[in-house]
Structure 1
């Protein structure tokens, strides 16, 4: 892969044309008026790091909410080539997981898979390796990517870090994956044993107080004896009939009890009704009319007497009817009560018989006990089997660990030539910066009980300082580009952060290394750099070197004097370096 041009659908955007598809390309951040002491005028914020973020965005990174929020409606276009074939990608900040490749929409996942196949020779049976996980080694995407030479993704996951680097260094990644699997399986078994040890039934066994095989044999003896007892057990012939009759009587008693309560309730209601008298007396009517000063005629008085007799007749009939109903209910209560008493006596006698002849209850209890013993024995056998399975697996894993360690030792011996070439290439690069410092790439067999197959490092003596660490990172990335394996990238892109803390003399040497190694190999190297960094390095280069290496390869200039001269052409404050 080599970059050709980055553009946008907004006219304010400053197109970035990478003039040298093969060769050096420098994007320079300048202060328009370097003599003016204005804190708001700075190399930061002109778009150097944003440029890297946009390139990754076009190359299938996850969608950026900051782009969608601060740059709605923006679309970025990236032209690049792979093995001489040119591609054009366009991606909208509002488009989510959709990318346009040569004018046709394609899902982000399909895009990444396509260029994974074109740019990296990843074996089918390897997990975690992908286009997006390996691309940051060639275009470090974030501020944190410049902290550790071997972890541009900022994963902090030792296994994945080792896997990525082993792949790009040409080491046997299947050995890396195999040890990871073995270790993971061993940890899984440990978790299983821990869960088993928390089982209440097994705590004594795990504590060493009891032996599983002895306890299992003891349970087998008890089961055998109990089965023999039950085979000889005889139940009285009429026991089942009596038990059935007892169940019937219990139901009848319950029904009778409910019926008695219902009838008693009805009797209570009738008694309450008898207390209520709705009769109207003639004297009451006369008193009402007299109080109203109305004189009743004799004819009216006569009719009132007839009405009073009529009401008396009705009242008499009502009382008789209620009393008859009450008497009938009382009679029914007596009948049901008598039935209840008889059945209760029969039920009590049945219970006495069952209590005297408890053969079935004993049989049931013995049967339940037998089931409990069998269940306990099955649990012990099952857990004992799991323990034996764990022991067998542990032995096999231990043997496999030893075999893999021996296999790795043999491999590293056989691959010494490959490792030596990498080590020598890196060391020769480092020696150009620090001739007196020991340097190199080391790969050792890791036989510890962990997930890591190799003890791997790239070292420059005293690389704990920021400047030397940055030089080490540069040397390592250049080693992967020029002497690494499994990729067809042909591109290395560094941000100006790389140069922070490096002595100007070493920066000057860095440019000479690029001239000597990038140009002959027809690879592409891109660097964003601040003008003050160029000013600092200029005294350590000849005029001809400065012109041919740097000035003739500046492909784009960003300035701080106004938003129009920055990358986007507008002023936007957003967090994208995450």
Structure 2
């Protein structure tokens, strides 16, 4: 991909016509002491140019465009492998773009560019069109802090994945380790949750402790099983049980009758044994004792009465003996009945004792099932924990296996990797011949997220300007790797701000050489004072060829008309990285 032009539907906009080789967008200030932070709040629109290129090439939505640039649209013309494409995006409708005359969703547009520029139809997580394209056009202030920071808040994994891909390093190994690490984290989190989750533990363990042996449960289960094995089910258990109860009731009634009869016999026997004989002489003696005279006629009547009384006594004795005989016969009958009922009850109770009802059998079966279920849940809980323990061990083994696989890869690709390292070292030596520098690509062993450690170093890279040189060298290394169809590199004036004038001069010379020999484009925004610092270091002809002839646009802050948009518009570019 090379850029051809950036235009707008608004006539006040200063179009940018890109050319082969170096392209300089120059920012001038009417008051040189006035600060320029590259933002459209205070600047002339140099950095805005880079944001608009991103905007036309499918960046995330820029919210401030809707309020500040209503009715504006921007068109970027570019070529890929010699074929020309156009992309138009409206500030009011950012979810769609017009790609070569066809309106398509933003997602579709990004997919097309992925295929055209990177020859891939689908990228893994953390590697997208925007993350890949940002490696060729650093856009934000934060992008100029570290060599491997291109997107705000980008994770270390995303940095490694995108950088490794563009450097031609096997990114499948990176993804494999990430997946393994995710698997490990998921297993660890799940295992901890299982151990701590009270609901989960209550379901599987109840009141049991998984660390306590289930011997007691096994003992109870064996007892119940033995009881069930010897259990005999009676189909008419309840009928027999009712019959036994009825016979028991009948027996008690008979026993009560027997008690009454025995009482009657006892009373009759007592009555028979009592003597109640009274004669007439005894009666007369009573009267004599009382000095009472009894006439002969009365004496005759007393004799008659006594005779009648004696007859009554005889009749009474006969009746009592008959009653006694009757009670004895009845008693014998009742005792026989009681004996028969007792024998029948013994038989029934013996049967009932050796048999049980179906529901009793089912209750025992249910109790056994409940105990076995408790035991199985405890065993299942232990199996689950054991599975995660085995998974942890398997993952550890996989980490070791992948470490070995990556070591083998680095050995097999040592020639290519050495060329990468040498390219970075050669670039940095152009700036600092006496400083040690290098690109480090190492296998990151152990149970962690990142497969490789990729680090770019230049001695004293914490010093002003050295870090910016390292950023430039790393970006150029990605471009020179030619893993993609990207054939341009864009830098903002922030990259040059802290550099020594000598390093600035070397940078432009270097890019002039590479754009001629490698057919690249280099696009940069530059402040006027930066070029003024370079001019004394170059011969006049060199300065004209490398700098002056490559200025494709000049922007001034003397009036709104001289700025990029041609009107005064304040657009917040740094605070609206919305998806």
TM-score, normalised via structure 2 length: 0.73
CA distance in 2, matches of 1:90, 1:42: 24
CA-to-aligned-CA distance 1:24-47 (integer Å, 9 cap, x gap)? 10000012465xx67899994211
CA-to-aligned-CA distance 1:148-178 (integer Å, 9 cap, x gap)? 2112012341111111111011111111111
Give the equivalent residue in structure 2 for 1:502: 499
- For structure 1, the 5+ residue unaligned runs are 243-357
Give the equivalent residue in structure 2 for 1:278: none
Root-mean-square deviation (Å): 2.9
CA distance in 1, matches of 2:409, 2:426: 25
Superposition pairs of residues 230-309 of structure 1, within 5 angstroms = 230=228, 232=231, 237-238=237-238
User: What's the secondary structure of 2:523's corresponding residue?
Assistant: strand
Is the deviation greater in 552-561 or in 151-160? 151-160
CA distance in 1, matches of 2:368, 2:482: 68
1:551 equivalent in alignment to 2:551:
no
CA distance in 2, matches of 1:124, 1:82: 19
Distance change in 2, residues 1:38/1:112 (3 Å): closer
* Offset of residue 199 of structure 1: 4.9
Residues paired across the two proteins, number: 454
Question: Does the CA contact (< 8 Å) of 1:150 and 1:161 recur in 2?
Answer: yes
Give the equivalent residue in structure 2 for 1:516: 513
* Offset of residue 393 of structure 1: 2.1
Distance change in 2, residues 1:446/1:577 (3 Å): same
CA distance in 2, matches of 1:374, 1:155: 54
* Offset of residue 364 of structure 1: 7.5
Give the equivalent residue in structure 2 for 1:118: 116
Give the equivalent residue in structure 1 for 2:137: 139
CA distance in 2, matches of 1:197, 1:542: 75
Give the equivalent residue in structure 1 for 2:292: none
1:572 equivalent in alignment to 2:564:
no
1:534 equivalent in alignment to 2:531:
yes
Give the equivalent residue in structure 1 for 2:46: 48
Question: Does the CA contact (< 8 Å) of 1:53 and 1:577 recur in 2?
Answer: no
Give the equivalent residue in structure 2 for 1:560: 557
Question: Does the CA contact (< 8 Å) of 1:42 and 1:560 recur in 2?
Answer: no
Question: Does the CA contact (< 8 Å) of 1:121 and 1:486 recur in 2?
Answer: no
CA-to-aligned-CA distance 1:54-89 (integer Å, 9 cap, x gap)? 111110112211001111111111111111000111
Give the equivalent residue in structure 2 for 1:292: none
User: What's the secondary structure of 2:67's corresponding residue?
Assistant: helix
Q: Which has the larger radius of gyration?
A: 2
Equivalent of 2:91 in 90, 93, 97: 93
Superposition pairs of residues 62-211 of structure 1, within 5 angstroms = 62-122=60-120, 126-199=124-197
User: What's the secondary structure of 2:237's corresponding residue?
Assistant: coil
CA distance in 1, matches of 2:469, 2:52: 26
CA distance in 2, matches of 1:519, 1:528: 20
CA distance in 2, matches of 1:49, 1:366: 84
Give the equivalent residue in structure 1 for 2:350: none
- For structure 2, the 5+ residue unaligned runs are 243-355
Question: Does the CA contact (< 8 Å) of 2:501 and 2:533 recur in 1?
Answer: yes
CA distance in 1, matches of 2:131, 2:26: 28
1:12 equivalent in alignment to 2:12:
yes
Superposition pairs of residues 369-380 of structure 1, within 5 angstroms = 369-380=367-378
Distance change in 2, residues 1:238/1:458 (3 Å): same
